[in-house]
A and B are shown apart, each in its own frame.
Chain A
Amino acid sequence: MGFAVKLQEDFPVIQILSPEGKVTDPDLVPPLSDEQLRQLMKNMVFTRVLDQRAISLNRQGRLGFYAPVSGQEASMLASQFALEKDDFILPSYRDIPQMIFHGFPLYQAFLFSKGHIHGGQIPDGVHVLPPQIIIAAQVTQCVGVASAFKLRKEKRVAICYFGDGATSQGDFYEGLNFAGVYKVPAIFFCQNNGYAISVPFGKQTASATIAQKSVAAGIHGVRVDGMDPLAVYAVTKEALDRARAGEGPTLIEALTYRFGPHTMAGDDPTRYRTKEEMTLWQEERDPIVRFRIYLKERGIWSEQDEQEAVEQAKEEIAAAMKKAESYPPMTIPELMEAMYVKMPENLAEQAAFLRKEES
């Protein structure tokens, strides 16, 4: 016997829909209309098609940087579905689908992938930041955005997304801790897909869960089945309601899985994951499969609906890609103009020199 005290905090995994599409906890089923349920399914199907298409376009060299999302549709889209349009998303580089369904045009997401400045020019009225490359930098920024809402007494919430690896960063803890002290309306949404590139969760932390890291910041924490759209929606909605009521931030840990590689830059997940594990998640826990069963049993989704959703997604994706490919290429003067509100003299000189060289 030593002096160590065992952590008593309990973080059970919230689940509403089993992998077989059965409701496991009727009391928790969120009050979504049939039309809302169908829309969420369409968003998830769209994202699955987008992922397959983006991987293919990347292999053809028509897209650049891309981080696959298949498997994470429930975690990404059911959480986004719970947001209001005025809520603010701070995404990581994998969280393109949430941005799109929050109003960010798809062709601009393709330009982001291709490395074009217009890919970061979020339209007015769309409340998202460009995808964050520095792991967990968005966590501390989320505190600032949420503080702005609190100071202005707006009923808006800031939500940031990150993976399990990000929870090892100092910025993750610092952000949670600030949010707790200031009690800001923020949601810290961790998509725990079990791996940070090749490094499994057990090598990020000896902690049993990510949700329990909320204890260190004194904030609310919850663990959810990230392959279950109803559960993800319900816990996110609850966190939003709490934030809007002035009750402070929440850390959500969604247990999910990415079916594909970490990014399209040569990662080979078979080097660090077993075939059995990949099969288990892909064939038995796919969020689209369980949601499809649930919707079909309610009589609000059919094979034909799905086929139509797939076709519509393909058309939208093709049109967006066409628009992205016909968009004028980025130029160095655009880069220079974007650096400062008022361009300093040294840069103005370099811009003038460039113009002279080009003429």
Chain B
Amino acid sequence: MANLTMIQAINDALRTALKTYPEVLVFGEDVGVNGGVFRATDGLQKEFGEERVYDTPLAESAIIGSAVGLAIMGFRPVAEIQFSGFYFEAFDALLSQAARIRFRSGGRYHCPMVVRSPFGGGVRTPELHADSVEGYFLHAPGLKVVIPSNPYEAKGLLLSAIEEEDPVIFLEHMKLYRSFRQEVPEGYYTIPLGKANIAREGADVTVVAYGAMVQAALKAAEELEQERQARIEVIDLRTISPIDTETIIQSVQKTNRAVIVHEAPKTGGPAAEIIARINERAILHLEAPVMRVTGYDTVYPFTMIEDQWLPTSDRIKQAIIDVLDF
């Protein structure tokens, strides 16, 4: 065991994957000698060589496009997009190519690749660095989306993502990179994709969150336990696509109330999909409407107002009170 930050856990996962699978390649802008703009790939080129860990020209579409070519030929690329807002440059390569190659070749080819990227608000980045892009990928058949919320899970989920035979978008919240440390086992272990984690057990309200919003939801839950003796269950979704419907429904059947939290804008976001599933399967269990706490339907804001824009534990707390008192 080692006491690691999330960025160190990610580095450890990449090192473990490079050791375990000769077909794993790590590439992107500044991931080589520099070790990544956040040090996610620190030391990897030195350890595994320039053929396994390499820098690319500054062009997202060709990073992903070449990853598709490598993946269909049996490699396991782990490509990096430097910041989430730059995914848009590569949307064709991801949504129209990587996500469809198995379908359009009737199973003849498939695309075992992972695309890592930092995202997430609260760290004063310039435009198009912090955007929550998971909703676009949730809507794209053929892709999986993973967002870890702590160091231990970041390592296990990333190794699972690398094991996947289909393309995975792996989004790493920048605010979580170095905000706390956790015991992380050495060596190889995985955490299954598509399975949510119950981060806190409770019986009165279900809160579904992921990424940095898990911490905010846990804080709200602790305060409400103190203030109202309310027992809040916090589900860390971990995988945004496919969504672990079963865990959410079982929780809602127990608590009869739910709040969904994400940083992404409200309209058409992951919360809308989760609420639709609760309505389809558990409407007779609901004592109150399912509420959403999300970013506003604006573009991601300039830094001066991002703290007001981002959902806070206070906003989450108020939504939980609203469903409790409905």
Taking Cβ atoms with an 8 Å cutoff, the residues of A that contact B are: 90, 117-118, 120-122, 124, 129-130, 134, 137, 139-149, 151, 158, 170-171, 174-175, 177-178, 181, 334-335, 337-342, 344-347
Residue of A nearest to B54 (CB): A182
A346 touching B245 in the complex, CB below 8 Å, given contacts A148-B74, A340-B142, A341-B110: yes
Asked if B128 is at the interface (CB within 8 A of a chain A CB), the reply is no
By Cβ-Cβ distance, the 8 closest A-B pairs, closest first, are A144-B69, A140-B65, A148-B73, A341-B165, A344-B242, A121-B106, A174-B62, A144-B66
A142 (CB) vs chain B CBs: closest residue: B69
Kindly list chain B residues whose C-beta atoms are within 8 Å of the C-beta of A143: 62, 65-66, 69
Contact present for B107 and A147 (CB under 8 Å): no
**9 residue pairs from A and B, CB less than 8 Å apart:** A122-B109, A147-B69, A151-B25, A174-B62, A177-B62, A178-B56, A341-B165, A344-B194, A345-B244
Pair A141/B97 contact, Cβ less than 8 Å = yes
With beta carbons under 8 angstroms apart, the residue of B71, B102, B243 that contacts A144 is B71
Whether a CB of chain A sits under 8 angstroms from the CB of B297 is: no
Q: Complex Cα distance A45/B165, Å?
A: 42
B127 within 8 A of A: no
Cα A171 to Cα B57 with chains together (Å): 13
Known interface pairs A144-B73, A175-B65. Does A338 touch B242 (Cβ–Cβ under 8 Å)?
no
The docked-state distance in angstroms from the alpha carbon of A141 to that of B71 is 10
Contact across chains for A122 and B105 when beta carbons are under 8 A apart: yes
State which of A142, A146, A345, A347 has its C-beta within 8 Å of the C-beta of B245: A345
Interface hits, B88-143 → A, CB 8 Å: 92-93, 96-97, 102-110, 141-142
B243 touches A346 (CB 8 A): yes
Once bound together, how far apart are the Cα atoms of A129 and B72, in whole Å?
10
Closest CB in chain B relative to A115 CB, distance in Å? 11
CA of A149 to CA of B69, assembled, Å = 11
CB distance A345 to B70 under 8 Å?
Answer: no
- Asked if B61 contacts A140 (CB within 8 A), the reply is yes
B246 to chain A: which residues have CB within 8 Å? 345
Q: Give CA–CA (A178, B66) in the complex, Å.
A: 9
Please tell me if B291 contacts chain A, counting CB pairs below 8 Å: no
Asked whether A121 lies within 8 Å of B107 as measured between CB atoms, the reply is: yes
B75 surroundings in chain A (CB, below 8 A): 148, 151
A341 to B51, CA, bound (A): 28
- Contact A129 B103, beta carbon cutoff 8 Å: no
B37 close to A (CB within 8 Å): no
Residues of B within 8 A of A (CB): 25, 51, 56-57, 59, 61-62, 64-75, 77, 92-93, 96-97, 102-110, 141-142, 144, 165-166, 194, 241-246
Nearest CB in chain B: distance from A157 CB, A: 13
Distance in angstroms from B98 CB to nearest chain A CB is 10
> Which residues of the other chain, A, contact B244 by a CB distance below 8 angstroms?
345
Q: Are B69 and A140 in contact (CB under 8 A)?
A: yes
Contact A341 B67 (CB under 8 A): no
Known contacts A120-B105, A140-B93, A338-B102; A345 and B72 CB within 8 A of each other: no
Of B70, B73, B77, B106, which one neighbours A338 at CB under 8 angstroms?
A: B106
Cross-chain contact of A134 among B25, B92, B110, B241 (Cβ < 8 A): B92
Interchain CA distance A342-B92 in the complex, whole Å: 23
Which residue of A117, A120, A171, A177 has the most chain B CB atoms within 10 A of its CB atom? A120
- Bound Cα distance from A342 to B93, whole angstroms: 21
> Does the CB pair A137–B106 fall under 8 Å?
no
Contact B65 A141 (CB under 8 A): yes
Q: B106 contacts A174, CB within 8 Å?
A: no
Q: A144 and B103 in contact (CB under 8 A), knowing A341-B165, A344-B242, A346-B245? A: no
Among A130, A140, A334, A342, contact of B165 (Cβ-Cβ < 8 Å)? A342
CB distance from A209 to the nearest CB of B (A): 23
Known contacts A134-B92, A146-B69, A344-B242; is-contact A175 B62 (Cβ 8 Å): yes
The answer to whether B106 and A120 have CB atoms under 8 Å apart is yes
| Residue of A171, A177, A335 touching B103 (CB-CB under 8 A) | A335
- Chain B hits for A124, CB < 8 A: 108
A345 in complex: contacting residue of B25, B69, B194, CB < 8 Å: B194
B65 closest partner in A (C-beta): A140
Chain B: which residue is nearest A135 at the CB level? B92
What's the minimum C-beta distance from A130 to chain B, rounded to whole angstroms? 5
Other-chain residue from A121, A129, A147 in contact with B70 (beta carbon distance below 8 A): A147
Query: Which B residues are CB-close (under 8 A) to A170?
Result: 59, 61
Would B69 and A141 count as touching, CB distance under 8 A?
yes
Distance (whole angstroms) from the CB of B201 to the closest CB of chain A: 23
A81 to chain B, nearest CB (A): 24
Complex CA distance for A177 and B106, rounded to whole angstroms: 31
A120 CB to closest chain B CB (Å) equals: 5
Which residues of chain B are within 8 angstroms of A141 by Cβ–Cβ distance?
A: 65-66, 68-69, 72, 97
Q: B65 touching A137 by the CB < 8 A rule?
A: yes
List residues of chain A with CB within 8 A of the CB of B73: 144-145, 148-149
Please give me the residue from chain A that is nearest to B56 by CB atom. A178
Query: Given A120-B108, A130-B104, is A177 in contact with B68 using a C-beta cutoff of 8 Å?
Result: no
Across the interface, do A339 and B142 meet the contact criterion of CB distance under 8 Å? Answer: yes
Q: How far is the CB of A160 from chain B (nearest CB, A)?
A: 10
Greatest chain B CB density within 10 A among A141, A143, A158, A341 is at A141
- Chain B residues with CB under 8 Å of A174's CB are 57, 59, 61-62, 65
Q: Which of A140, A146, A177, A178 has the most CB of B within 10 A?
A: A140
What residues on B are CB-neighbors of A178 within 8 Å?
56-57, 59, 62, 66
